[in-house]
Amino acid sequence: MLFNKMKQTAIVLLSVLAGSIGSAAAQDDESLAAMVEAWLASPHGDYHSHSFTYWNKDGEVPVACGACHSEPGFLDFLGADGSAPGSVESPSAINSPIGCAACHTGAAHALDIVSFPSGAVLDNLGSSAVCTVCHQGRQSGGAVTKAVSGTGEDTVDPELAFINVHYGVAAAVMHGADVQGGYHYPDRNYASRFQHVPSANTCTACHDPHTTQVATETCFACHRGVEDVRAIRTRHGDFDGDGDISGGIHAEISGLHARLYDAIRAYAAEIAGEPIVYAPGSFPYFFADIDGDGSIASEDAVMPNRYASWTPRLLKAAYNYQVVAKDPGGYVHNPTYLLQLLHDSLENLSARTDIDMTAIRRP
């Protein structure tokens, strides 16, 4: 079976790795085998995931997608296959999750500098550099600025289409204003990289690189009195304006996110003149709400029904709405940045729709 074959390959590679680390003891073999098991059970080792099978009907992963969706594509991107570093030269293999060899080549170990879709370049990324390549998203606030330029804020422009930041955009959120993953409203300041405590301040300090899981027990040494990471909170402002600050910072972000959705729906119906609805699992996410009931059946959440009455104001808010939706760990990665993006999107929509901003605090 494919799994067993992969496991054998991994174990051969393991012995090589163990050899190069200089510890060939049986105990190490055991811990390495456990590492392989952990990886196979992780999303990076999931052969059945949409992320690694999406292109099976085409037989290859295209150049634009290979760097993050195929181990050979990532090797190509790093230049570990002898090709130019920083770009993918050829289509890559399907059914190739992110295996040991993706992150354990000389090129991957040496990688320290990563550029983002905005053009921003970060250095000193250490062992988190590999994570940063794939978890940075594919768009930036600048793409939104460019798309809407020259169009009146509330003018419906049939040329406009939804811009999707992509998925698992943790690195874009963590680095905040430094990499401009969100749409930044003019004359507003945005939080740069979230500086957490030194022991939990990088991707690999929190996430085990092989399971991708976070050992959340370690969090409660400092964050006392809670048993769930989502209940963590160190600041006590009412950021979503609901009068309730008893939940974690996660609850403030999800509360504000829900308010932004209501505002997007109100604006679309009243100002753009076409009701809108969001379908979480269906590209391109925003659809025409034909019967105006606020829901859409999955068979209707298809390309021909995609929302097509975008105004610049609506597109900016929808872009930020999706940035927040596509980093479910954003409340840990950079809570201030997400609250600012949501606050400013809501405030901008309030220029044309009836939204009471008075109780909502901007951090």
Instruction: Name the minimum Å distance from CB 84 to ligand HEC.
Output: 16
334 near ligand HEC (CB under 6 A): no
Residues 6+ apart with CB under 8 A from 52: 46, 69, 70, 94, 95, 96, 97
Determine the interface stretch with ligand HEC among 68-76, 260-268, 289-297, 348-356 (rule: CB under 6 A): 68-76
Separation CA 347–CA 343 (nearest Å)? 6
CB of 132 to ligand HEC, least distance (A): 6
State which residue, 51 or 350, has the beta carbon closest to ligand HEC. 51
- Angle formed at CA 288 by CA 282 and CA 292, multiple of 5 degrees: 115
> Distance between CA 151 and CA 159 in Å, rounded?
10
Q: Does 196 bind ligand HEC (CB under 6 A)?
A: yes
Does residue 64 bind ligand HEC (CB under 6 A)?
yes
Residues in region 6-35 near ligand HEC by CB under 6 A: 10, 14, 17, 32, 35
Residue 277 near ligand HEC by CB under 6 A: no
Sequence-distant (≥ 6) Cβ neighbours of residue 352 within 8 angstroms: 154, 267, 270, 271, 313
State which residue, 160 or 174, has the beta carbon closest to ligand HEC.
174
Using rule CB under 6 A, residue 138 touches ligand HEC? yes
Nearest of 229, 247, 230 to residue 238 by alpha carbon = 247
**Considering Cα of 239, then 154, then 274, then 314, what sign does the dihedral take?**
negative
Site string for ligand HEC, 210-249 (x = CB under 6 A): x-x-x-x-xx-xxx-----xx-xxxx-------------x
Q: Which of residues 275 and 335 has its CB atom nearest to ligand HEC in the complex?
A: 335
In 3D space, the residue among 67, 14, 17, 21 whose CA is nearest the CA of residue 40 turns out to be 14
Q: Interface with ligand HEC includes 49 (CB under 6 A)? A: yes
Q: Is residue 136 a contact point for ligand HEC (CB under 6 A)?
A: yes
**For residue 122, which of 48, 172, 61 has the smallest C-alpha distance?**
172
